[in-house]
């Protein structure tokens, strides 16, 4: 099993969620987060300069069986990309085991 974590633009969340559902990734958690990025310039809107050093993003945490790892990553890359600085990051880590609390079931079947 793998844990795929993605930090994406909040504006791309609906696109990513829809795309994940289309490929069969139906369960994940998410949080609204604020972070620091590489972008150093501010933006001007209606004559007012806004700092972009604190960036609002959405953090997705998705645990998938190994056979869903590549399609999950590919789906996020395609759905979350704008081609601009600040599109986000994806992190992948190994999950040793999983348990379904209700039944005590163990392993990859708990993800279905």
Domains and CATH numbers, the chain: 2-111 (3.30.70.120)
Residues 6+ apart with CB under 8 A from 11: none
Using a pLDDT cut of 90, give the percent of the chain over it. Answer: 71
Q: Indicate whether 70 pLDDT > 80.
A: yes
Mean pLDDT of 7-16: 96
Identify the pLDDT of residue 48.
67
Angle, helices 69-80/13-22, rounded to nearest 10 degrees: 150
pTM comes to 0.84
Mean pLDDT of 57-78: 97
């Amino acid at each position: 099993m793998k844990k795929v974590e993605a930090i994406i633009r909040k504006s791309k969340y609906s696109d990513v969620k829809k795309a994940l559902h289309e490929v069969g990734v139906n369960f994940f958690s998410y949080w609204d987060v604020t972070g620091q990025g590489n972008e150093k310039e501010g933006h001007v809107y209606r004559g007012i300069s806004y700092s972009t050093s604190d960036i609002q993003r959405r953090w997705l945490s998705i645990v998938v069986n190994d056979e869903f790892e590549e399609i999950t990553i590919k789906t996020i890359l395609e759905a979350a990309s704008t081609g601009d600085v600040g599109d986000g990051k994806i992190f992948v880590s190994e999950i040793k085991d999983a348990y379904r609390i209700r039944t005590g079931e163990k392993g990859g079947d708990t993800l279905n």
